[in-house]
Amino acid sequence: MIVSIGAVVALEWSKAIVGAAVMNQAEGVFDEVFGQVIELGNGAATENRDADVWDIADGILAGAIQYWLFSRQPCGDPRCEDCLAISTAEARMVELQKLIKMFTQESEYYHSPFDVNVGRA
């Protein structure tokens, strides 16, 4: 089988396009769900004015963790490399904690001007 350099370049280019499209689609889903969860919290706070926003946030977080754990069940093949990072309950907890740390530090609400460790002049 003879493959021209142009065909190889075209194949690699098309892989990059498809990869970027899949990545953009995944990012789009992530952003959409992220926004829906914010709307859910705001809606719950608006509809339940007497509710504590901490209770609302805790409920959203508990549901998100349940769904995340459900989505990270290993496939059942003990040699599966894709499932290695989630192959035990403890391993899933480590992965979840990594995500929590990353999402927390990326949040615009991570630091507050009222944090007790904020310097004041």
Tell me which residue range forms the domain holding 24.
10-71
Question: Would 24 be classed as within a structural domain?
Answer: yes
The answer to whether residues 60 and 37 touch, using CB atoms and an 8 Å cutoff, is: yes
In this structure, which amino acid lies at residue 70? F
**65-74: long-range pairs with CB below 8 Å, 24+:** 65/96, 68/96, 68/99, 69/96, 72/96
Backbone torsions φ then ψ of 48, nearest 5 degrees: -125, 70
Same domain for 92 and 39, yes or no, is no
Number of domains forming the structure of the chain? 2
Note whether 62 and 86 are same-domain residues. Answer: no
pLDDT confidence of residue 43? 96
Look at residue 105 and tell me if it is in a domain: yes
pLDDT tens for residues 33-88? 999 999 999 999 999 999 999 999 999 999 999 999 999 999 999 999 999 999 99
Give the rounded percent of residues in the chain with a pLDDT score beyond 70.
Answer: 79
59 lies in the same domain as 93: no
Are 18 and 36 part of one and the same domain? yes
Q: Is residue 4 part of a domain?
A: no
Q: Is the pLDDT of residue 96 over 50?
A: yes
